[in-house]
Structure 1
Amino acid sequence: MRIFAAALATETNTFSPIVIDRRAFEASLCAGPGEHPETPTLCTAPITVGRRVCAERGWELVEGTAAWADPAGLIARGAYEGLRDEILGQLAAAGPVDAVMLGLHGAMVAQGYMDPEGDLLDRVRALVGPDVPVFAGLDPHSHLTARRVAAADVLVAFKEFPHTDFVDRAEDLWRILVDRLAGRVRPVMSVFDCRMIDVFPTSREPMRGFVDRMMRMEREVPGLLSLSVIHGFMAGDVPEMGTKVIAVTDGDPVLGARVAEELGRELFANRGRHLMPAMGPEEAVARAKVAARGPVVIADMWDNPGGGTAGDATVLLHEVLAQGVTGAAVGTIWDPVAVQLCFAAGEGAEIPLRFGAKSAPETGDPVDAVVRVEALNPAAEMRFGDSVVPFGAAARVSFRGVQVILNTVRAQGFDPSLFSALGLDPRAQRVLVIKSTNHFHAAFAPIASEVLYCSAGRPYPNDPATTPYRHVRRDIWPICADPFAETA
């Protein structure tokens, strides 16, 4: 067997001013054929898992390009078309293959392309013909378009949010593909449209129990191969944005349709109850200030670079300073110019520095302070599950009893190694402020005395009922109170 595998992934916040070009992929991951590192990124696990699966079976894995860019705004047309055509050219050069395995995200939007993944899958299908299996992994914060469903045989999304299971879901993809190539199964997909926009953290109920039941059904229901919930990505203004359920069955679309609808209607019945309760910055900082012990983790949940924002908002930091909190550490504030100035000054230097709040309205005001440059790291990295996430040249500065990590490659706070990479022990801090919606939870909760979710400013379009969408359908909750009733 000869299997072609490649990856092309990012998440597009269509309201973000930060354009993704080829350099953005190169800053995060842009590996040529055979050059992907042993550790996967979020969306490239189908390649690393595929190496092991194919080696065990004596199959040939033909690797194409693997490219991942940290979330931001629209992908420049030339960047998308260049990477797409690179992968398609590699597939064509590979000659006849027995299957195609792709690592995608699912929420890409490029200049001139509302559905880049649909475009890529269509072109892959045209190259390999109707009978070659085309499988792909997805992030659940994606857009499941009819075009993608028509072009692919199997789509499997991560189940967990935080996405701690991206390697496990790649294992699922390969398990189904192995069985398909052996003739043991005939996978078919069924999709149910939940007609809603919501956020579904699996670190709390009701989504925790829902995902546990999905995995139990996969084990126990005969003929059911895979279940995925596409959460949707509410910062992506595209026509088919929204929550959907995928059921993959062994040649039984009736079973798939029934199960997908059952699960989808349960999600709709719980609409509005999934998201973590959030508080304003004044309350969050006040609660952290009086905590009996630390560290209290405050998640700046809507200035999340993982959702395409810049990650340079200062609203929470200003509140920390206003309330006189000491022993606080903030990670990170994206400011490449400030980092450059810190590197020029060197460790131990005291310099006047302005940083933060450059990217967009409602992100606060820049911080002006005389800071001490405590630590510099020319290539800082943190852990995220089985992967390593770069956040670029970074500096740790201190002033008024507060430590701030400034970085050059935008990345959300996944893991306490974010702080230790700059020589700071996160467990020794009273307060940790991180920029993440929920991916931080798996790694930070074990060290936190308390976890607080904070809605500070509005760098991210976090209220779909009022977000000024131009392309999103109108018959979807919460834009529409009950879309099922109105279409009955």
Structure 2
Amino acid sequence: MRIFTAALATETNTFSPICIDRRDFEASLYAPPGKHPATPTLCTAPITVGRKVTAEMGWTLIEGTAAWADPAGLVNRLAYEGLRDEILDQLRAALPVDAVVLGLHGAMVADGYLDPEGDFLSRIREIVGPEVLVCAELDPHSHLTEKRVAAADFFVVFKEFPHTDFVDRAEDLWRIAVDTLEGRVKPEMAVFDCRMIDVFPTSKEPMRSFVDKLMAIEASDAEVLSLSVIHGFMAGDVPELGTKTIAVTNGQPDKAARLARELGLELYSKRGTFRVAEINEKEAVSRAMAASSRPVVIADMWDNPGGGTAGDATVVLAELMARGATNVAIGTIWDPIAVQICAAAGEGAEIPLRFGAKSAPGTGNPIDAIVQVVRVVPDAAMRFGESFAEFGPAAHIRFNGIDVILNTVRVQSYDPSLFTAMGIDPTTKDILVIKSTNHFYAAFSKIASDILYCSAGTPYPNNPATNPYRRARKDIWPMIENAHGTEAA
């Protein structure tokens, strides 16, 4: 067997002022054929898992380019078309192939392309023809369009949020692909439109039990190859916005359709109950300062670079300063210019510095302070599962009992190693402020005495009922109250 694999991924917040060009892919991950590292990034696990699987099978794996850019706004047209065509040319050169196994995100939007993944998959299908297996792993925070479903044989989606299972799901993807190629199964995929958009953290109920139910069905029914939920991505203003359920069965399309519908209606029946309780910055700081055990983690959840924001909001920091909080560490505030100023001053220098809140309205005001430059790291990185996420060049500054990490590469706060990489022991701090919606939970919950989800300012469009959509559909919850009528009762 000859299998072609590649990855092309980013997540587009269409409201973000920060646009993506090819340099952003090259800064995050650009790996030409055979150059992908041994450890996967979030959307490239099909490549590293594929190496292992094909080696065990004695098959030939032809690797195409892997490209990932950290989430932001609109993708430059030339950047998307250039990377797309690079991979398509590699696929043409690899022909004939028996399968194409891809790593995608699913929430990319490019200039001139509201559905880049649909465009990409359709072109792949045109190249390989109708008989060749085409499948992909997706991030649940994506848009599942009819065009993508028509072009692929099946999708497998991360089940967990935080996304701790992207390698496990890549293994599922390859297991189904191998069984298909060896004639043991015939995947039949069905999709159900839940007619809703919500946030589904699997670290709490009711989504925890729902995901456990999906895995229990897969384990108990041999004819069910995979069950998935596309959460949707509310910051993507696209026509097919919304939550979808996917069922993949062995040669049973009616069963797949029934399962997808039943599970989708179950999700819909629980609409509005999934999101964590959110508090504003004043309550978050009050509760953190009054806590009897430490450290307390304040998640500045909507200033999340993993959702395409800049990560430079200062609303929580300003509240901490106004309240006289000390023994606090902030990780991070994105400000490449401030990092350059700190690097020029050098470690140990005391300088006047203005930083933060430069990207957009709703992020607070820039902070002016006399700061000490504690540490400058040219290539700072934190752990994310088995891999690493870069956030440097970076600077650690200190003033009035507050430590702040300034970063150049936008990335959300995945792991406490964010702080240790800059010389800060997070376990000795009273309060930690991080920028992440929920990906932080798996690692930070191990050291936190309490976690406070803070909605501060307006850096992110987090209310679908009021977001200023121009293209997204308006016939789903919460834009309307009952999108399914009596069917969901």
Q: Please give the TM-score of this superposition, normalised by the length of structure 1.
A: 0.99
Instruction: Determine if the alignment matches structure 1 residue 142 to structure 2 residue 142.
Output: yes
Partner of 2:93: 93
2:33 matched residue in structure 1: 33
Q: Distance in 1 between matches of 2:339 and 2:347?
A: 12
Q: How does 1:342-381 map to 2 (within 5 A)?
A: 342-381=342-381
Residue aligning to 1:406: 406
SS of equivalent residue, structure 2 residue 120:
helix
SS of the aligned residue for 1:61 comes to strand
Match in the other structure for 1:172: 172
The superposition leaves residues 225-273 of structure 1 with CA deviations (integer Å, 9 ceiling, x where unpaired) of 0001000000000000100000000011111111111111111011010
Question: 1:334 corresponds to which residue?
Answer: 334
Partner of 2:309: 309
Task: Report how far residue 385 of structure 1 moved.
Answer: 1.1
Asked if residue 79 in structure 1 is aligned to residue 79 in structure 2, the reply is: yes
Return the offset for 1:386.
1.8
Cα distance between partner residues in 1 of 2:231 and 2:362: 26
The whole-number CA distance in structure 2 between the counterparts of 1:427 and 1:148 is 45
Partner residue in 2 for 1:467? 467
Residue 252 of structure 2 is aligned to residue 252 of structure 1 = yes
Measured in 1, the distance between the counterparts of 2:74 and 2:43 equals 18
Distance in 1 (CA, whole Å) between partners of 2:141 and 2:386 is 20
Partner residue of 2:115?
Answer: 115
1:30-50 Cα deviation digits (max 9, x unpaired)? 000000001100000000000
Cα distance in 2 between the residues matched to 1:428 and 1:38: 34
Q: What are structure 2's unaligned runs of at least 5 residues?
A: none
Counterparts of 2:154 and 2:384, CA distance in 1: 26
Output one character per residue of 1:253-309: Cα deviation in whole Å (capped at 9) or x when no partner. Answer: 111111111111111011010000010000001100011121100000000000000
- Residue 199 (str. 1) matches residue 179 (str. 2): no
**1:483 is paired with a residue of what secondary structure?**
coil
**1:12-51 alignment runs, 5 A limit:** 12-51=12-51
Give, as a single letter, the amino acid of the residue that structure 2 aligns with 1:419: F
Partner of 1:440: 440
Report the AA paired with residue 471 of structure 2: H
Where structure 1 has 5 or more consecutive residues not aligned to the other structure, the ranges are: none
Structure 1 residue matching 2:229: 3-state secondary structure:
strand
SS of 1:64's partner is strand
Deviation at 1:222, TM superposition (A): 3.3
2:266, 2:486 → 1: CA distance? Answer: 18
User: How far does the alpha carbon of each residue in 1:359-416 deviate from its partner, in whole angstroms, 9 at most, with x for none?
Assistant: 0001000000000011111001111112211112000000010000000000000000
1:221 Cα deviation after fit? 1.7
The Cα shift of 1:64 comes to 0.4
SS of alignment partner, residue 100 of structure 1: strand
1:282 partner SS: helix
Residue 21 of structure 1 aligns with an amino acid whose one-letter code is D
1:383 corresponds to: 383
Q: Which runs of 4+ in 1 moved over 6 A?
A: none
The code of the aligned residue for 1:385 comes to G
Please show how residues 140-289 of structure 1 align to structure 2 within 5 Å.
Answer: 140-289=140-289
Instruction: Find the counterpart in structure 1 of residue 450 from structure 2.
Output: 450
Q: Which amino acid aligns with 2:251?
A: G
Identity of aligned residues (%): 70
Query: Aligned with 2:484: secondary structure?
Result: helix
Distance 1:22 1:80 in 2: 8
Superposition deviation, residue 487 in structure 1: 9.6
CA distance in 2, matches of 1:39, 1:351: 40
**What corresponds to 2:295 in structure 1?**
295
Deviation of residue 486 (structure 1)? 8.9
Distance in 2 of aligned mates of 1:428 and 1:154: 47
C-alpha distance in 2, partners of 1:365/1:339?
18
Aligned equivalents of 1:222, 1:177: Cα separation in 2: 15
- Higher mean alpha-carbon deviation, 167-176 vs 219-228, is at 219-228
Please show how residues 119-134 of structure 1 align to structure 2 within 5 Å: 119-134=119-134
Backbone CA RMSD of aligned residues: 0.9
Answer yes or no: is 1:55 the counterpart of 2:49: no
**What CA distance in whole angstroms lies between the structure 1 residues aligned with 2:274 and 2:113?**
31
Distance 2:110 2:208 in 1: 33
Amino acid at match of 2:128: V
How many Å separate the matches in 1 of 2:316 and 2:84?
39
Partner secondary structure for residue 170 of structure 1: helix
TM-score by length of 2: 0.99
Q: What SS does structure 1 have at the residue aligned with 2:297?
A: strand
Amino acid at match of 1:50: G
| Letter in structure 2 aligned against 1:422 | M
Q: Which residue of 2 aligns with 1:106?
A: 106
Counterparts of 1:280 and 1:297 in 2: how far apart (Å)?
14
Q: Distance in 2 between matches of 1:324 and 1:173?
A: 51
CA deviations on 1:119-161 (whole Å, 9 max, x unpaired) are 0000000000000000100000000000000000010110000
Deviation of the 1:355 alpha carbon? 0.2
In 2, the alpha carbon distance for the partners of 1:444 and 1:322 equals: 26
Give the secondary structure class of the aligned counterpart of 1:452.
strand
Q: Distance in 2 between matches of 1:387 and 1:142?
A: 22
Tell me, in whole angstroms, the C-alpha distance in 1 between the residues paired with 2:487 and 2:462.
Answer: 26
For 1:48, give the aligned amino acid.
T
